[in-house]
């Protein structure tokens, strides 16, 4: 029963958030500060998700082979390597570090 209660609360929260998008005046969304914030938000959330996925196991922080793969991916992204090359190199590095 607790699970369904949580699902219903999450659904209601999503509906309220979507409705808030229609209620907010457009002049607030057209300011340069709001535009910069809204453009940076997806990158920030994705970065947080990656950090949690790489450096956390359960409730503990860890430093393992995933960090090596992330480091290689960051280097390849910095030199503007193709996406497929970044993914394959990061996976290969993480697998090699894990095998050691």
pLDDT, tens digit (0-9, with 9 covering 90-100), for 47-91:
898 888 888 888 888 888 899 999 999 999 999 999 999 999 999
Helices (H), 2-82: 2-23, 26-29, 32-55, 65-78
* Backbone φ and ψ of 60, nearest 5°: -120, 145
- Smallest CA-to-CA distance from 73 within 58, 88, 60, 63 is with 88
- pLDDT tens digits along 2-28: 888 989 999 999 899 888 878 888 888
Quote the pTM value. Answer: 0.61
Q: What is the pLDDT of residue 91?
A: 95
């Amino acid at each position: 029963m607790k699970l369904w209660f949580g699902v219903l609360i999450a659904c209601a929260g999503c509906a309220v958030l979507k409705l808030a998008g229609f209620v907010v005046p457009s002049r607030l969304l057209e300011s340069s500060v709001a535009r910069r914030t809204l453009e940076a938000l997806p990158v920030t959330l994705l970065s947080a998700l990656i950090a949690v996925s790489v450096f956390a196991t359960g409730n503990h922080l860890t430093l393992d082979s995933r960090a090596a793969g992330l480091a290689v991916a960051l280097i390849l992204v910095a030199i503007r390597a193709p996406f497929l090359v970044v993914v394959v190199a990061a996976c290969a590095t993480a697998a090699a570090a894990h095998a050691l």
